[in-house]
Amino acid sequence: MDMELNVDPSELQSLGEYEFEKNFDQAAARKWMMENWHIALIFGVTYFILIFGIQNFMKEREAFHLRAPLALWSFSLSIFSAIGAYRVWKLMAFLLLTKGFKQSVCSQSPHIHPVSKLWIYLFVLSKLLELGDTVFIVLRKKKLIFLHWYHHLITLIVCWYSYKDMVASFGWVSALNFSVHAIMYFYYAVTAIGIQIPISIRKIVTITQMVQMTG
């Protein structure tokens, strides 16, 4: 990456950040992730063993329904993702309008700007939380496809390493992923409580998931 394309923090105006966002110590968070990079691998191995262990444990047992917990889980993640999307997009929109698309891709500003730095960090940590999606699948004895657990596993590791290395395009990655997950988890919450969703809406949700995976 051409470091000259990074935007000087002094050029970025205040975008209405909150005090708790400005007070977040991004340097300390990044330092911790750099020093503890192996934790992502440990969580990945634990996740792999756990989900297939639970799946084997459930073979001769009745499936749990878990409608209410799943609805609450999904709705909480939807709200979190919507807030994260709003905060990160606020900076990305500013970069696009004032610096252009190239700068928005090549700048590390999303990692350090007060309005987005906390949410970029929480985005990475949320990949640990989202491993719980698979636990619901195996406890409910739903079909666990390779793409599901592989995606969760690789996303966790890639996001962890991208954050510690302050990958420039991570602003786009987090903004798009937050946005898609806000829709996706709301859809999961609604279906968990038994509301029937039109096929056209289900197709749109699936397409958005597929599109953001290609990014």
Whether residue 39 contacts residue 147, with contact meaning beta carbons closer than 8 Å, is answered with: no
Q: What are phi and psi of 16, to 5 degrees?
A: 80, 35
User: Which residue is catalytic, options 111, 148, 151, 152?
Assistant: 151
Q: CA nearest 92: which of 30, 164, 2, 12?
A: 12
- Give the span between the Cα atoms of 58 and 135, in whole angstroms: 11
- Give the span between the Cα atoms of 59 and 178, in whole angstroms: 34
Q: Contacts by 199-202 with C-beta closer than 8 Å and gap 24+? A: none
Going by the DSSP 8-state scheme, the letter that residue 64 receives in this structure is P
Residue type at 169? S
Q: Is 65 annotated as catalytic? A: no
Tokens of 208: 């958005």
Which amino acids are annotated catalytic? 151
